[in-house]
Amino acid sequence: MGGMIRFHNTLGGEVEDFVPIEPGQVKLYTCGPTVYDFPHIGNWRAYIFEDLLKRFLAFRGYKINHVMNITDVDDKTIRGAQARGVGLDEYTRPFIEAFGRDRDTLNILPADHYPRATAHIPEMVELVKTLLEKGFAYRRDGSIYFAIDRFPAYGRLSKINLEDLRPGSRGDADEYEKESVHDFALWKAPKEGEPFWETVIGPGRPGWHIECSAMSVKYLGKTFDLHCGGVDNIFPHHENEIAQSEAANGVKFVNTWLHCHHLVVDGEKMSKSKGNFYRLADVLAKGYDPLDVRYLLLSTHYRKMLNFTFEALDQARTARQRIGDFLGALKDVSGTATDGAPIDPLIEAARDGFVAGLDDDLNIAEALAAVFTLIKNVNPLLARGEVSKEEAAKVAAFFAEIDTVLAIKPSPTIAGSGKIAKGGYAASGTASVSGGGGISATGEALIADRQKARAAKDFATADAIRRELLAMGIVLEDAKDGVRWKKVGPPKG
Ligand code: AMP
Ligand code: ZN
């Protein structure tokens, strides 16, 4: 199954075959949250892209060692803690907890390690010491800086204009603009009211970039396979990580760099500082399923900009419902052998398309197209009663298989479905994908007839009625406590 996995490597800018250092094993580092605030869904786009990458590699048989750092000491966390008059630990704790909760809600697999910067001060100090000894770093006014002109490969990842390089000029801010390329702080002198550590390189606290170099080598080794983040991480953060690690270790830092494009709002990067952000809770408060959000963030190729709108979120919900309705119809199949078209080749074609798409630099659009083609091809067979129970189970098993990658858990019992109690029926609750309303009297009568047929074990009649309802746009799912119905509109988008 599948050929070679190919990824677009930011380092070099080409799509390349993916060859891990150790066969069958992938060492992955992804830059994690700066825990000075709650994450917004722009951050989640990055983490969901990384989750798709991970889940697909696992699907393709790789074992993954994934490290994600937690930045719990930097300019922003220190500022926040000061403003609240609490210690760093107390200040960052609720944001770390919220990160874990949202991650689980979005069906993102946890990393194998979540090293915190404040728990790795000795490792960072050791690395800065090495850089001083090797002559890549120098001291100035109690701080220690990386001298970028002593590292000739500086700028290779981000392809910054070398004319902008200003060797010898220094910056202390953790984040800075391309326009002022300069020596960056590895270790910062203590400041009034700021936390600091007494260490062998002097008192102070780490700059932002050093933690990722120190923690990746600890958990993954000097050279590892994949490193990810959003495109905003490329410069200066990842450029600086490469400089620190390669200068200290003398070997290549990372083989393949993958960066996802931004989630934007009206063309502007969703960010805390611009105020144009939504948190997961804001979106859920409007009645969306968290996995609708996951689907939306997942379904655009990671290297494309994604504009966030609620219309797009509605389309994501519709797409998940379409899959859920299909799964509901599969569950409802109770017939035996048929003489319809064989199902196996349809499933194989879908699996091939799904894998080939994701093999090609995680081309999710192609992968999803293969899935929806399967639905399109099987639906008329279902409507004509040409799918056996066994075949339906095979199709459902395929969906379970690909959901280990997509993790969008489409379920036929999603919000908005009406519920009919056992023994009678009451078409209570609103239905419909596309705007409300119950079902017609005819629909209700048909559902009641079908319940009677099922009670009498007349499954042929029950199935015939179900197909009739399907033709009316009403999908049924038999549940333990009765039957659920849902109206389906024509799929959008
Ligand atoms: P931060 O907490 O700001 O360090 O960001 C954590 C991760 O979220 C990084 O990988 C960023 O590149 C990513 N990120 C931040 N904003 C966005 C956005 N609007 N779209 C996509 N990724 C983002
Ligand atoms: Zn990092």
pLDDT at 96: 98
Mean pLDDT for the stretch of residues 370-394: 95
In whole angstroms, give the CA distance from residue 286 to residue 401. 31
Mean pLDDT for the stretch of residues 4-24: 98
CA of 254 to the centre of ligand 1 (A): 20
Amino acid at 22: E
pLDDT at 157: 97
Mean pLDDT for the stretch of residues 96-117: 97
Does residue 157's CB lie within 6 angstroms of at least one atom of ligand 1?
no
Mean pLDDT for the stretch of residues 275-280: 95
Does residue 261's CB lie within 6 angstroms of at least one atom of ligand 1?
no
Q: Are 427 and 447 in contact (CB under 8 A)?
A: yes
In whole angstroms, give the CA distance from residue 72 to residue 423. 57
pLDDT at 170: 84
Average pLDDT, the chain: 88
435 versus 197: the higher-pLDDT residue is 197
CA of 348 to the centre of ligand 1 (A): 37
Q: Is the pLDDT score of 481 beyond 80?
A: no
In whole angstroms, give the CA distance from residue 248 to residue 252. 11
pLDDT at 160: 86
Mean pLDDT for the stretch of residues 381-406: 95
Does residue 230's CB lie within 6 angstroms of at least one atom of ligand 1?
yes
Does residue 263's CB lie within 6 angstroms of at least one atom of ligand 1?
yes
pLDDT at 478: 64
Q: For residue 452, what pLDDT band results from cuts at 50, 70 and 90?
A: confident
- Say how many C-beta atoms besides its own lie within 10 A of residue 285's C-beta: 10
CA of 397 to the centre of ligand 1 (A): 35
Q: What percent of the chain has pLDDT over 90?
A: 74
Mean pLDDT for the stretch of residues 115-141: 98
Ligand 1 atom having least distance to the Cα of 39: 2
Q: Is the pLDDT score of 410 beyond 80?
A: no
Q: Are 280 and 41 in contact (CB under 8 A)?
A: yes
Mean pLDDT for the stretch of residues 258-285: 94
pLDDT at 185: 96
Does residue 117's CB lie within 6 angstroms of at least one atom of ligand 1?
no
Mean pLDDT for the stretch of residues 440-448: 65
Mean pLDDT for the stretch of residues 401-424: 61
Mean pLDDT for the stretch of residues 195-222: 98
Closest Cα to atom 14 of ligand 1: 43
Phi/psi class of residue 155: alpha, beta or left (left: φ > 0; alpha: ψ in -120 to 50)?
A: left
Q: For residue 271, what pLDDT band results from cuts at 50, 70 and 90?
A: very high
pLDDT, one tens digit per residue, over 292-316 is: 999 999 999 999 999 999 999 999 9
Mean pLDDT for the stretch of residues 464-480: 63
Edge-to-edge order in the sheet of strand 268-269? 268-269, 263-265, 306-307
pLDDT at 426: 27
- Say how many C-beta atoms besides its own lie within 10 A of residue 60's C-beta: 16
pLDDT at 440: 60
pLDDT at 427: 29
Q: For residue 223, what pLDDT band results from cuts at 50, 70 and 90?
A: very high
pLDDT at 272: 87
- Nearest partner of 38 among 110, 85, 87, 91, judged by Cα: 91
Mean pLDDT for the stretch of residues 49-76: 98
In whole angstroms, give the CA distance from residue 137 to residue 145. 5
pLDDT at 318: 96
Q: For residue 172, what pLDDT band results from cuts at 50, 70 and 90?
A: confident
Ligand 1 atom having least distance to the Cα of 263: 20
CA of 221 to the centre of ligand 1 (A): 25
pLDDT at 266: 86
pLDDT at 413: 39
Q: Give the mutation target among 208, 232, 241, 274 for probing the ligand 1 site: most ligand atoms within 8 A of CB.
A: 232
List the single range of 243-247, 347-351, 418-422 with lowest mean pLDDT: 418-422
Closest Cα to atom 21 of ligand 1: 262
Mean pLDDT for the stretch of residues 171-182: 74
3-state secondary structure 351-370: HHHHHHHHHECCCHHHHHHH
pLDDT at 315: 98
Q: For residue 463, what pLDDT band results from cuts at 50, 70 and 90?
A: low
pLDDT at 464: 61
CB-based burial of residue 461 (10 Å sphere; 0-12 exposed, 13-18 middle, 19+ buried)?
A: middle
Closest Cα to atom 11 of ligand 1: 230
Q: Is the pLDDT score of 485 beyond 90?
A: no
Mean pLDDT for the stretch of residues 151-164: 87
Q: Are 192 and 269 in contact (CB under 8 A)?
A: no
pLDDT, one tens digit per residue, over 63-106 is: 999 999 999 999 999 999 999 999 999 999 999 999 999 999 99
Phi, psi of 263 (to 5 degrees): -85, 125
pLDDT at 432: 28
In whole angstroms, give the CA distance from residue 260 to residue 300. 10
Q: Which long-range contacts (CB under 8 A, 24 or more apart) does 90-96 make?
A: 91/36, 92/35, 92/36, 95/33, 95/35, 95/36, 95/37, 95/38, 95/39, 96/35, 96/70, 96/72
Q: Give the mutation target among 31, 43, 69, 92 for probing the ligand 1 site: most ligand atoms within 8 A of CB.
A: 43
Ligand 1 atom having least distance to the Cα of 35: 2
Does residue 45's CB lie within 6 angstroms of at least one atom of ligand 1?
yes
Mean pLDDT for the stretch of residues 408-413: 67
pLDDT, one tens digit per residue, over 322-346 is: 999 999 999 999 877 666 678 999 9
pLDDT at 267: 87
CA of 261 to the centre of ligand 1 (A): 9
pLDDT at 86: 96
pLDDT at 174: 78
Q: Is the pLDDT score of 381 beyond 90?
A: yes
Ligand 1 atom having least distance to the Cα of 233: 12
